[in-house]
Structure 1
Amino acid sequence: MTPSIRILPRLIVPDPDRASAFYQDVLGAEQVLRAPLIDDGRPAVVDHRVGGSSFRVSPAVSAWGWLSPSDLGGSAVLLEVEVDDPDVVGERMVAHGAEVVVPIENRPYGKRSGRIRDPFGHLWIVSGELR
């Protein structure tokens, strides 16, 4: 029998509170936990729920090996979010400081999608149904 497993992505960012506010504003994420602070006043982890998914945000702490995309020279991971209206979500992300990497448009594989880099350097594929 396969054990119960959950994968909880943790996004490493310079400012977890600012990142948490961004994800709440643009994705409608619900902050469900803000764990104890580290020495410099940043929370060690902020847990979020979006629909049936969860993800976490933590501060960059080089001594712990926690490096943000800017520390690494870019993001090594693509996060994909499926939404009802990718255009609206993409526009909201850009309005809150993200940048378009690949425009959101109908793709030959049957989805409407594009890539957005959030203000913290993480890359998102914003995807939905064709228009």
Structure 2
Amino acid sequence: MSLSGPRIGRAHQQQGDTMAINVEPALSPHLVVDDAASAIDFYVKAFDAVELGRVPGPDGKLIHAALRINGFTVMLNDDVPQMCGGKSMTPTSLGGTPVTIHLTVTDVDAKFQRALNAGATVVTALEDQLWGDRYGVVADPFGHHWSLGQPVREVNMDEIQAAMSSQGDG
């Protein structure tokens, strides 16, 4: 399978015999993993991702892949240290990740459980939070963190401030 059709972040319009490229602003996380093919399988199972395409290199490692998760594009590739000054860039090689990818979803309990069933582990248990969301965080088998949240009640800033203040009174 290869990437086909419009390129990520671009819209194409036919103008005569040529295609005009119209850039559409986008923000797409680009994940580096060990075993990108397995990561794609995990994201399909865990987050109902749709694979948009993959580009294998001569050694079979994926130099580029794209998925659609929760309506947005996520790019990923196998770790290729020679492309990063000889440094491995996976969360495992870096000792963790400072980034959490957030998904706002409906039916957060089912989606959180789906991620766990696919092989994710709990980082932060799924609970109702002071800001009005039901929210939790999982780590995927490749070291990336994913938070899942669903708004469940309206709150105002006074409520949030009061809840934060009362947390220190324990």
TM-score with structure 2 length normalisation? 0.70
Aligned 1:1-131 pairs, distance under 5 A? 4-35=24-55, 37-65=56-84, 67-130=89-152
Higher relative contact order (CA 8 A, sep 6+): 1
Write the letter of the residue equivalent to 2:45. Answer: D
Deviations 1:90-117 (A, max 9, x none): 1111112111011011001000001111
Deviations 1:59-116 (A, max 9, x none): 1111112511001000121100011111111111111211101101100100000111
Which residue does 2:10 correspond to in 1? none
SS at match of 2:25: coil
Contact 2:65 2:77 in 1 (8 A): yes
SS at match of 1:101: strand
Give, in angstroms, the shift of residue 52 of structure 1.
2.9
TM-score with structure 1 length normalisation? 0.90
Give, in angstroms, the shift of residue 18 of structure 1.
0.5
Deviations 1:22-50 (A, max 9, x none): 11111111111112x22431121110113
Q: Tell me the C-alpha RMSD between the 2 structures.
A: 1.6
Give the distance between the partners of 2:130 and 2:70, measured in 1 at CA: 27
SS at match of 2:53: strand
Q: Percent identity?
A: 30
Give the distance between the partners of 1:52 and 1:116, measured in 2 at CA: 19
> Structure 2: which 5+ residue stretches go unaligned?
1-22, 154-170
Contact 2:79 2:89 in 1 (8 A): yes
Give, in angstroms, the shift of residue 4 of structure 1.
4.1
Q: Which segment is superposed worse, 85-94 or 117-126?
A: 85-94
Contact 2:46 2:116 in 1 (8 A): no
Q: Report which of the two structures shows the higher radius of gyration computed on alpha carbons.
A: 2
